[in-house]
Amino acid sequence: MQDLSNKTAIITGASRGIGEAAARELAAKGAKVVLAARSGADIERIAAELRAEGHEAIAQTCDVSDRAAVEELITSTMATFSTVDILVNNAGLIDPITRIADSDPEAWTQVIDTNVKGVYYGLRYAIPIMIAQGGGTIINISSGAANSFLEGWSHYCASKAAVLRLTGVAHKEYHDQGVRLVGLSPGTVATKMQVSIKASGINPVSKLDPSAHIPADWVAQTISYLCGPGGDEFLGQDFSLKTEEGRKLVGLPGLS
């Protein structure tokens, strides 16, 4: 079992879904966790629950599309825990789902600002700290959309393709200085995002039966796995939970 004792982990988008599950999983493995999200009330509640269980956890309101907010998130984490060992760039948007000619440019841009710039800001401010302390791990939540053309998802496909390239470039630039970069493509996950996708009725993903979606806990277990030596084989690329091999490595049930 992965031991993350004395490690500090920042998880963005930690108010629900994959982010909340990741915070709980990493805390259970011994990490000190910093929950970041726009929804302050939710992350405060989750952090309080973790502290009641004996874990070290704090919450910080942060909109990752705001450069200054991400810089403050990293700075305040250092002030509290003295290290940033793990960063999970999880915060992401998919709404509104619509075809390009019908899209609202401002809403489209907001998705790019969150999904792409939010990841970039995390990299920009965490990497120098990780280099100075001798290493660290950054996990960027990716998607099969990075390599797909899905109707109504122009913003999401474009943003996840950008995240995949950020993962690869950051790995090339900093792996020899101890910074581990890996992407995680989990497939479809049973989160609130799937409600929006289902309601859109656009593209085959919206037609999937809810039973096809994996639990967020599986993604959290995979994040923990990638923080350890098991992730070394996948540095600079996306690890996929849509393969038998990937699930077997993590210890998850196989594809049905």
Instruction: Give the tokens for residue 50.
Output: 């973790």
Instruction: Give the tokens for residue 49.
Output: 């629950």
Sign of the Cα pseudo-torsion (244, 235, 61, 44, in order): positive
Q: At 102, which amino acid appears?
A: D
Q: What are the residues facing 184 on neighbouring strands? A: 141, 239
Query: Of 120, 121, 125, 156, which one is the catalytic site residue?
Result: 156
For residue 215, the 8-state DSSP code is: P
From CA 12, how far away is CA 119, in angstroms rounded? 10
From CA 10, how far away is CA 75, in angstroms rounded? 12
Measured CA to CA in angstroms, residue 102 lies from 116, 151, 160 at distances of 22, 12, 21
> With DSSP H G I counted as helix, E B as strand and the rest as coil, what are the percentages for the chain, rounded to 5?
55, 15, 30
Catalytic annotation present for 120: no
From CA 45, how far away is CA 124, in angstroms rounded? 29
From CA 251, how far away is CA 221, in angstroms rounded? 9
198 HSE (CA, 13 A, CB side):
14
Active site residues: 156
